[in-house]
Structure 1
Amino acid sequence: MSHWDVFNGDADGLCALQQLRLATPREARLVTGLKREIALLERVDAGAGDTVTVLDISLARNRVPLMALLARGARIDYFDHHHSGPEPLPRHPGLRLVIEAAPTRCTSLIVHRCMGGPHAAWAVTGAFGDGMAVAARALGHAAGLHDESLALLRELGEAINHNAYGETEADVLIAPAALHGLLRPYGDPLAFRRCEPVADALIARRHEDLARSDALAPRWRFASGSVYELPDEAWARRVQGSLAYRCIEREPDQACAVLRAAGTDAFMVNVRAPRRRPRADHLCLSFGGGGRAAAAGIDRLPRERLADFLAAFEQTFAADEPTRPRP
């Protein structure tokens, strides 16, 4: 009998898994990847008697292999907060499915609640990394963490999340599976930050990348938000998600999209929604992407559909009548 841990390689997936394995240590086969590597269950070769834990990957992208694993007799615990697709949630005696798609939820917070909260600092770190600063601070204060500690956890969570962005593992400082191995001994994320040199390296890499992005101006501006365009370079591949979070934090009532060239004929897109109009998932779903209400993305937006995307961006987030983009 084998166990599999299947998780997104960003801060939310890593910190959700960290909470579970601190509470219930077990050896597992790891299946993970960078932020955009979502279709992970198809890599799992589990069957009768095997168990699988799934964290922070969209059911919409993994429904078919999930049902195949259940049909082969695997037992699966599945925790997530992304849009699950138009079909009803599956029911099966071998499946424990916990999906909460509210804009204020992330997988780390869901796991924290389901476990009764023994490792709140890791849930706080994951929530900060996933751009949920308000929820992270609220949980941190409830857990007795001081503002100084919360600031350190925020910097760590955001740096871990930043590390998940890239086209291949060559773009990032450390592969998510290797980072999980370094995190695993630490019950306290502050101790991880103090003791593991990779923590400072991750933080420094993020600051360097953001400094480059801060020099950029939006390529298109609308009354309801801004759209940035990045080149297809390693630093830009890493900074794409962090720049989107940074923009929405600075202007929480403005939408933000970050486009990065993906070859010569397409873009990869990150979208962050303003707090009063959380519709990022609806926008991205209409272009073949996915995500959640506050934050979503498109793996491949053809260049010939760029004008359609800009028009839909403005229409989705406009409070009043749409305006034309200013070049």
Structure 2
Amino acid sequence: MHYDVFNGDADGIIALLQLRLAAPKESVLITGVKRDISLLKQVDITKATSVTVLDISLEKNNQALQGLLDSQIDVFYIDHHRTGDIPKSNKLITLLNTDANTCTSLLVNDFLKGQYSYWAVAAAFGDNMHASASDLAQKVGLSKHQQNQLNELGTYINYNGYGQELSDLHFHPAALYQALLEYPDPFVLINQEDSIFNQLKTAYLADMAKACAADVLSDSDVVKTIVLEDAPWSRRVSGVFGNELANQAPDKAHIVITLNPIDIDLQSKNEGQKEQSYTLSLRAPLNNKQGAGDICAQFPTGGGRAAAAGVNALPKSRVDEFIKHVESYYRG
């Protein structure tokens, strides 16, 4: 039994889409909301014969990966996030590149020698890698209008992946992936009336309009912090809104904060007490795409890559500390 394990955002979905358009394979799909990256532990070792892993940090899945390898299960791992220590095994094949200007779908595009490059362009736009997306688009001869269409498509697929839980999303990522398999050419999807593309576009525009009216917690020449309310729309839009802010002010870092619906336990010295927590999305300045993953990794439940990262449950009492940490890092 083969398992396909992939991030529920644009990059994870489209990376798998390219692979399975090129080489169809019956598989068990394991995915989740974008921030649910500890996915590899869901693979049933007693049933799995092989596993493909896409766009989830090896560092965050190292223990589960080692368990698969110890059970002599073949693993193909493609990713661009922090790796940590990479296990040594003849059962493991990797395509890993943590460069801030690449993403998993671009790695798959290279692996497939450009077989579904239009989709790879959409994924790179969705992962807010506009320069890399435009470079590939120009290489394959796409017009500016076509680039804008793929930019929209990637953004909307990425937007669908954000949420505290699956019920926040418009489409389950596995269902969205399966629907997109019907479209080897993304332009057919884009130009189809009442398609998933148009459904997500309508929802995205409505959510973004609310985000643009959100409160500004802090704003300096180095970092800007926006606070969104505790609501499904804000959880859906948190990541793509951070991308939009980064594109508008490429010399600044941006933090988008969303109140979590469930309080977390305080430290052991206050056992039994609860504290509000926030989900944070951090975007490094587009003109200095480094440090976001390292900053977030210093806080519990935090991680990501150099240009974009987050913390899933930051205690309310540590928000100012986080902002000051970001400010200090990018001010140098």
Alignment TM-score > 0.5, same fold: yes
Partners of 1:92 and 1:191 in 2: how far apart? 42
Q: Quick check: 1:273–1:295 contact (8 Å CA) kept in 2?
A: yes
Map residues 91-130 of structure 1 onto 2, 5 A cutoff.
91-130=88-127
1:325 corresponds to: none
Structure-1-length-normalised TM-score: 0.94
Q: Shift in Å at residue 174 of structure 1?
A: 0.8
Map residues 51-200 of structure 1 onto 2, 5 A cutoff.
51-85=50-84, 88-195=85-192, 197-200=195-198
Partners of 2:151 and 2:312 in 1: how far apart? 27
Q: Shift in Å at residue 306 of structure 1?
A: 1.6
Partners of 2:58 and 2:213 in 1: how far apart? 37
Q: Shift in Å at residue 48 of structure 1?
A: 8.0
Q: Shift in Å at residue 240 of structure 1?
A: 0.4
Instruction: Tell me the alpha carbon deviations over residues 188-246 of structure 1, each in whole angstroms, 9 at most, x when there is no partner.
Output: 11112223622101011111111111112421112201011111101101110011001
Comparing 47-56 with 305-314, greater Cα deviation is found at: 47-56
Matched, 1:25 2:27: no
Q: Shift in Å at residue 282 of structure 1?
A: 1.5
Partners of 1:177 and 1:79 in 2: how far apart? 18
Partners of 2:324 and 2:317 in 1: how far apart? 13
Structure 1 gaps of 5+ residues are 320-327
Partners of 1:49 and 1:233 in 2: how far apart? 38
2:258 corresponds to: 260
Match of 1:248 among 246, 249, 255: 246
1:324 corresponds to: none
- DSSP 3-state at the match of 2:25: coil
Q: Quick check: 1:49–1:73 contact (8 Å CA) kept in 2?
A: no
Q: Shift in Å at residue 293 of structure 1?
A: 0.5
- DSSP 3-state at the match of 2:78: strand
Identity within the alignment, %: 38
State the one-letter code of the partner of 1:209.
Answer: D
- DSSP 3-state at the match of 1:219: strand
Partners of 2:182 and 2:234 in 1: how far apart? 32
Q: Quick check: 2:222–2:331 contact (8 Å CA) kept in 1?
A: yes
Structure 2 gaps of 5+ residues are 264-275
Partners of 2:283 and 2:13 in 1: how far apart? 21
Comparing 19-28 with 184-193, greater Cα deviation is found at: 184-193
Partners of 2:136 and 2:318 in 1: how far apart? 41
Partners of 1:116 and 1:278 in 2: how far apart? 28
Q: Shift in Å at residue 269 of structure 1?
A: 0.5
2:309 corresponds to: 296
Q: Quick check: 1:47–1:73 contact (8 Å CA) kept in 2?
A: no
Structure-2-length-normalised TM-score: 0.92
RMSD (CA atoms): 1.3
1:269 corresponds to: 280
Q: Quick check: 1:283–1:313 contact (8 Å CA) kept in 2?
A: yes
Matched, 1:282 2:279: no
Q: Shift in Å at residue 110 of structure 1?
A: 0.7
Partners of 1:70 and 1:194 in 2: how far apart? 44
Partners of 2:63 and 2:146 in 1: how far apart? 42
- DSSP 3-state at the match of 2:320: helix
Partners of 2:215 and 2:277 in 1: how far apart? 21
Q: Shift in Å at residue 19 of structure 1?
A: 0.6
- DSSP 3-state at the match of 1:218: strand
Q: Shift in Å at residue 60 of structure 1?
A: 1.2
Match of 1:305 among 314, 318, 321: 318
- DSSP 3-state at the match of 2:216: coil
Instruction: Tell me the alpha carbon deviations over residues 280-311 of structure 1, each in whole angstroms, 9 at most, x when there is no partner.
Output: 11110111311000000111111121221121
Q: Quick check: 1:277–1:317 contact (8 Å CA) kept in 2?
A: no
Q: Quick check: 1:236–1:260 contact (8 Å CA) kept in 2?
A: yes
Instruction: Tell me the alpha carbon deviations over residues 142-170 of structure 1, each in whole angstroms, 9 at most, x when there is no partner.
Output: 01111111111110110000000111222
- DSSP 3-state at the match of 2:191: helix
State the one-letter code of the partner of 2:189.
Answer: F
- DSSP 3-state at the match of 2:227: strand
- DSSP 3-state at the match of 1:33: coil
Q: Report the number of matched residues.
A: 316
Q: Shift in Å at residue 184 of structure 1?
A: 0.7
